[in-house]
Structure formats: C-alpha cells, structure tokens
Amino acid sequence: MSPPAGVQPAEVLRVDLSALPPGARRTQATVLASLPGLLSTGARPGMDQAGPGIAVVDGTAVGWPARVARAVAEGRRGVLVAAPTTVPTGEAADVAEQADSAGCPVVLALPAQFDPSVRAGLASFRASATTLSLVGSLVTVPADGTAQPGRSLLRTGLLAQLAAVRAAAGRLSGLEFSRDTADGYLATARAGAATVMLSGLLSAVRGYLLQVDLVGVSGRCRIRLPDTPTAAPAFVESYAAAGMTLLRLSYAGGLRAAWVNLHAAITAAEPVHYGLPELAHDLAMVPVTSQAGDINDQC
Amino acid sequence: MTTLGVGFLGAGAATQAIHLPAVAALGDHLRVARVMDTDAAIAGKVAAVAASSATTDVDAVLEDPAVDIVVVASPADRHAEQVVAACAAGKKAILCEKPLATSRSDGQRILAAAQSSGTPVVVGTMHAYDPACRAAVSAWQELKTDAILVRSSIYLPTDDIYIDAATQVVSPPPPWTIPRRPWAAGFAPAFITDMVLGLTIHDIPLIRQFSPAVDRVTSAAIVEPVGYALSALCGHGSVELASVVTGDWDAAWRLEAWSETAVLSIDFPPSYVHGGSAHARVETTDGAREWHCPENGYQMEWSHLTELAMGRAGPWIALEAAVRDLEFALDLAEGAGELCESQPG
C-alpha cells in the first residue's frame, strides 16, 4: 500500500538477527515480517545494505550489556534487547550512558511496556480515575525443572513485573522485600501516592502469568498480560459504575509495538518507552542476593 | 413437627437481609420467636415482618423459653457479653455475627462460657460455610501441598446496593468513611481493625487453613477511597490482603492460594445476597476441578446451626478454632495499625 500523497514513506531499516539463537530468531522474524514498511531482515531495492542497521541482542545471554555496548561501538543505528533478564545494575547504567552519548536508541523488549491494549487501557484508566491509590501485581514463572535456580527465574519475572507496573503506575520508589526465597517473593513499593504490592512465585500449574490490578478513587482496572512473545492480546478490564468493560483486544502484540517504538526513536527521535536508564533504575531497587549460582549475585 | 424458636439480638441490615430469609427457607424447623433492637421502631418493624414480637430488652429474649437459638447481631463490642449471657441462659445454640469479639480476652471469655454450658456457638463468617469453598479447600488439603502465597482481594461498592437486592430494609447501615488527612493519632489502627474485623474476617478461617499463624506484618497502608492493604509473613508462606469499599464498581471478592504445584481460587458473591455459592477452582498440573452450588454460605450456616441446636451434628468449626481466627485477625490488624501509625503522613 502506498502512503497518501504528500506523506513521505517511512525509512525501512535493516535488522540483523544473526546474534539470536534459532528459536528467538524465528520469533523476531515473524514480528518483523509484520512490519514490512518499517523494517526488513533481507535486502530491499534502495536499502543501504552496507549501513550499520539495527542489532538484536539476546537478553537471556549472560553479560548481554557487553553485547549492547559492542553494537553501540560498531555504530549501529539502534539496538533491541530481546527477552532481557536481570544484570548487574552498574553494567546496565554504564551501557545506558554509552548508548546515550552515541545517540543510539536501545529498546528493551518487555512486552508489558509496549502492548497496545495495555497502553490504551492505561490511558483510559488514568483519564477516568482521578487518583491511583493501590497497585497489586502477581507474577508467576514456570517451575520447569531446569537447572536454573528458582530465584534467578523469579528475578526475570520481577523485571517484567516492574516494567508492567512502571507502565501502569509510573516510576517506582522504595522497593522493599519482606520475603525473597527460591520459591517466591513478597515486596512493597510506592508509585507516587499509591501503595504497590508485588508478589512472585514459581508455578508448575499456571506457568507464566503477569497480572496487575489498579485501584483508583473512582475506578479500578485489571491487566493480564499474555504468556508468550506472540501477538496474543493482553486483557484489560475496566471496572466502573456501568459495570466491567473488557477493552478492545489488540492482536498487534507488545513485541511488535516495541519494534515500532525503536523505529520511531531512530527515525523521528521519539522517546523509548523502556530502555537502559529505566532498567538501571529498576535494577537498582532490587537487592543483591547471596544464592549460589544466582545471576543476581553480581548486582 | 416441633420448630425451634429464634431470637434476634440486633435487627439491623444483617438480620433483615441475611438471617430472616435464611430462617424462612428453613421454615419447617425454625420460626422467629423474638426480635430485639435498642431502637424500638426498628425492632417493631422487623418483628412485624417476621410475624414475631418485639422488644428492646436483651433479657426479654434470653429469658424467653420460646427462644431456642439466639442470634447475636448487635454491634461488635456487645458480642462477648451477649454470647456469654446466652450461654448462661441455657440456649440450644448461638449464632454470633462476625466478629466473634473485639479482643482476645473476650474471645477467651466466650470460649470458657460455651465450654461450661455446652452451648454450640457458630460465628457468622459465611465463607467458611460456603459449600463450594469447603469442597475446594478440602480438595486442596488432599493434595498435601503448602501454600507459598495467599491473596485476599476485596473490592466492594457500598453495602446498600446488595442489601436492596436482598430485602426491603428498614434501617440501612451507615457507610464506611475515612476523614481527610492528616489523620489523628490512633485513627489508622482503629480503622484497620474495623475493616479487618468487619470485612476480611469472613476469609480468615479460610486463610488459616493455609497460613495458621501470623509471624509479622511487613507492610500496611490505608487505601483511598476507603480501604487498606497489608502483607504478612506466616510460617513459610506469605499473606497479601487488600480491601477497598465504596468504590463505584462491581463487587469482586477473591481468595487465592498458591503453591508451586497447585492454585486454589475462589470468587465469592457479595455479602447479603442469596445468589448461590462461591465459584471455586483448584488447578494442578493434572487439570482443574471446579465447584458451584445453589446454596450459599448463609444457608449452610443456618442448616448447620439448626442441626447443632437439635443435637444432630457436631460443629464443623470448633469454637477453639473460631477464637484462634479472631486472634489471627487481631494479630494482622494490630501489626498493620502499628506500621501505619509509625509511617509519616
């Protein structure tokens, strides 16, 4: 489809998926194929094949910030971190500074931050509820019997949870853990005037589940995030005087929206919804753990 | 057939919307014998509806030989003395609206009186009698799995909506309110205690099935428009409670228990209404089981009370356990109150 007369077509940016493991590469390729007007993994007529393009970094790899740093140093136009996991706060902060100096946008693809249903639902909730007073969130992560320590799995869930709550309620402060074990955690924080209650646990039953409840003075809202990086919709239920409304489902997906955000950040200098500075802030609130083998040992 | 006479101490919304319909449903076994309220007009109107006689005198109910079962539905701070007096009066059974009492010592006083007289006492924590809920908790217990997290989320509009749906009330209860900040010293502990003993108490017998004792309340806050949230450590598990009322939204009352290998979730109907049981579900890696019944917790509570008064059954919930439920609730409320009081603003 051609753009309307007078509208410049968007610049199609080249994406390099070569650093991803096969499964993650397939996921990203599917999403990129849904944005042919913005991004491409292959050669296109008129596309600058020799240019630096966009790098995609595997966020599940240990030490992934170093890979981001390398991509920034190579002069990439932007970086997307797929499925980011927790890293030492200092590493995130250092590479955030480096990317900022280089003018290289880095998007952390945590779908909760980008999901179109969630963003639309939150805008609607904020417009109707004058004051947010309580945020409750539960995340469960699969207890899959792998060798990965429970707390390390839970930290990845916590990262997604913090990003989701940040999208819902804004920047958090004063995160305090009252329980933080290999099978679950319980924490509280503040988001402005609102009390935030966070819990997470391993579950062999539900697998991955991320749910956020928002309670305001004049309404409440429940968000349930999809458990896959596909375009499965988030469910946003709004509760008000007229009853419950399930907001229109969007099958665009958070990952696709993350790519659109990165494209806009590169070509139109739009702000990144969730990038390295936000990650560094969130990680700085998470306590260092002492569990052997836990990737958060280094935080 | 001989019927048992029921005497009410307190004729407010709970008596009108909850208990009179439940007694009517058991009309083959029960009849309303006396209605007492300190407000003579309310006592008269409610007694007239129930084709009974009215009084403003507690003793007139307790001394009435036609009264076999006493329902204590008065303000919470009167419960202890009235239950103790009903035990001493030799009644066949007592239904005490929640909370059983407002202090540990009153709980123990009730226990001693009931043990001494042999009077069965049922506490009106209706969720503990909800048939779907009981079946689901029983199924959970068969799994022999320990809950890591128990969450109680209560989001309710004002009571009048559901009272109006359940009856034509002659005396609506006052709504919950909180004053503008800054709050006076002592407000937060008193408010949270009121909410825990008035609302969350319904879930406490269930929560204690998973987390028997409170080690420490770790966070607490008063939540606007009218509510509170708290978290606590209980043995190897954690408890998260949130109750917010007078919001302009549909009722949502959910209890969840999570272990690594099982999830129990119960969605309760709002108070006052007779809309069937909760919807309860237990999920494991092998699949899910669900329960829902036409009877609600109030009806089952009354069926059980009738059986107790007739001497046909033993108690589903021992009074000792009900006293421990009260103590658990007070542990939560006092811990939360202290935390709130120590926080700035």
What angle separates helix A22-33 from helix A254-268, to the nearest 10 degrees? Answer: 70
Question: Is B284 a domain residue?
Answer: yes
- pLDDT tens readout for residues A197-215: 999 999 999 888 999 999 9
Q: Is A234 exposed, middle or buried (0-12, 13-18, 19+ CB in 10 A)?
A: buried
How many angstroms separate the CA of residue A118 from the nearest CA in chain B?
A: 20
Residues B53-90, buried b or exposed e (16+ Cβ, 10 A)? bbbeebeebbebeebbbbbbbbebebbbbbbbbbbebe
Q: Report the CATH number at residue B191.
A: 3.30.360.10
* CATH architecture group of domain A112-252: 2-Layer Sandwich (3.30)
Q: Report the CATH number at residue B45.
A: 3.40.50.720
- Subunit contact B148:A201, Cβ cutoff 8 A: yes
- Subunit contact B283:A205, Cβ cutoff 8 A: yes
How many angstroms separate the CA of residue A159 from the nearest CA in chain B?
A: 19
Q: Which domain holds residue B253?
A: 128-296+326-342
Question: Is B320 a domain residue?
Answer: no
Question: Is B139 a domain residue?
Answer: yes
Mutate to test the interface with B, among A177, A201, A202, A237 (most CBs of B within 10 A): A201
Task: Judge contact between B106 and B123, C-beta under 8 A.
Answer: no
How high is the mean pLDDT in each 10-residue block of chain B (345 residues)? 92 96 95 98 96 98 98 98 98 98 98 98 96 97 96 92 88 78 86 95 96 95 92 95 86 95 96 94 96 95 97 96 98 96 75
Mutate to test the interface with B, among A125, A151, A186 (most CBs of B within 10 A): A186
Across all residues in chain A, what is the average pLDDT? 87
B231 at the A interface (CB within 8 A)?
Answer: yes
B28 at the A interface (CB within 8 A)?
Answer: no
- Cα A194 from Cα A210, distance rounded (Å): 19
* B228 shares a domain with B164: yes
Helices (H), chain B: 13, 20-25, 40-49, 58-62, 79-88, 104-117, 131-142, 160-166, 187-198, 204-210, 297-309, 319-342
All residue ranges of chain A with pLDDT < 70 are 1-8, 46, 48-50, 129-130, 144-149, 288-299
- Cα A158 from Cα A152, distance rounded (Å): 10
Question: Is B321 a domain residue?
Answer: no
Question: Is B113 a domain residue?
Answer: yes
Beta bridge partners of B39: none
How many angstroms separate the CA of residue A284 from the nearest CA in chain B?
A: 21
Question: Is B29 a domain residue?
Answer: yes
Which residue in chain B is spatially nearest to A244 when comparing CA positions? Answer: B250
- Subunit contact A206:B247, Cβ cutoff 8 A: no
How many angstroms separate the CA of residue B228 from the nearest CA in chain A?
A: 9
- Subunit contact A239:B250, Cβ cutoff 8 A: yes
CA B55 to chain centre: 25
* B311 shares a domain with B289: no
Q: pTM of the full predicted structure?
A: 0.91
Those residues with Cβ within 8 angstroms of residue A268's Cβ, 6 or more apart along the chain or in another chain: none
Question: Is B44 a domain residue?
Answer: yes
Residue A289 has what pLDDT? Answer: 55
- Subunit contact B247:A179, Cβ cutoff 8 A: no
Give the strand pairing for A39-40 and B252-258. unpaired
Task: Judge contact between A282 and A172, C-beta under 8 A.
Answer: yes
* B209 shares a domain with B91: no
Helix (H) or strand (E) holding B232: strand B226-234
- Residue B21: name the closest of B184, B154, B175, B163 by CA: B163
Number of domains in chain B: 2
* B204 shares a domain with B334: yes
Residue A5 has what pLDDT? Answer: 63
Residue A288 has what pLDDT? Answer: 63
Query: What length does chain B have?
Result: 345
Q: Which residues on chain B are in Cβ contact (under 8 Å) with A143?
A: 260
Beta bridge partners of B6: B32, B69
How many angstroms separate the CA of residue A203 from the nearest CA in chain B?
A: 4
Q: Which residues on chain A are in Cβ contact (under 8 Å) with B247?
A: 215, 217-220
ipTM: 0.89
B99: preceding bond cis by omega (within 30 degrees):
yes
Residue A291 has what pLDDT? Answer: 35
Mutate to test the interface with B, among A144, A161, A188 (most CBs of B within 10 A): A188
What letter represents residue B201's amino acid?
I
* B226 shares a domain with B195: yes
* B30 shares a domain with B83: yes
* B270 shares a domain with B208: yes
Among the partner residues B233, B244, B262, nearest to A215 by beta-carbon distance: B244
Question: Is B258 a domain residue?
Answer: yes
Residue with tokens 């009084």: B55
Q: Which residues on chain B are in Cβ contact (under 8 Å) with A244?
A: 250
- Cα A5 from Cα A19, distance rounded (Å): 39
B182: preceding bond cis by omega (within 30 degrees):
yes
Residues B16-39, buried b or exposed e (16+ Cβ, 10 A)? bbbbbbbbeebeebbbbbbbbbee
What number of other Cβ atoms are within 10 A of residue A142's Cβ?
17
* B268 shares a domain with B152: yes
User: Can you name the CATH fold of A13-111+257-284?
Assistant: Rossmann fold (3.40.50)
Domain spans of chain A?
Answer: 13-111+257-284, 112-252
